[in-house]
Amino acid sequence: MSEPHDHAPIGLDLSAPAEPSVVEAVQNELALLWEQRPDLDPGVTLRFEMGLVEILGNIVEHAFDPDTPGRLLTVAVTIEGDVVRGTLSDNGQPVAVDLSTVTMPDEDAESGRGLALAVAALDELSYTRDGDCNRWILRCGGAGS
């Protein structure tokens, strides 16, 4: 594991329509980011990416009515030391979720695993509604990861 002060902070910022293609675009950007920090614990990058992609997929699928124009999403990710942080923001509908009560659904359930996987994968996950904006904060790595 790297020392927290070995590297200057790096990151990515992406704004795009909240459409299914954004998931692959974000994964491509993350791959480039991981290449810049090959010393970063692969478990941290894997868990972070899994959590981020699950939340991102939920935003694309559930945050908007299908015909809503102007579906916008921003993704910001930073790596500082051995900590990866992300913020996902969208202008979709408010989310009614209490992350402290999220559990994995029964094996027969056809949906509902994404948020539970994200909670399990990430060291920190929070959601807030700020005006007309949903904001998800993610963290992986650092002390206690």
pLDDT of residue 144: 56
According to DSSP, residue 23 is labeled: H
**Helices first, then strands: H and E counts in the chain:** 3, 5
Model confidence at 11, pLDDT cuts 50, 70, 90, reads very high
pTM for the whole thing?
A: 0.84
Q: Mutual orientation of helices 21-36 and 42-62 as an angle, nearest 10°?
A: 160
Strands (E), 38-123: 72-80, 83-90
- Domains of the chain and CATH, by start: 10-141 (3.30.565.10)
pLDDT tens-digit map of 58-86? 888 888 776 778 889 999 999 999 999 99
pLDDT tens-digit map of 127-139? 999 999 999 999 9
Contact of 65 with 109, CB cutoff 8 Å: no
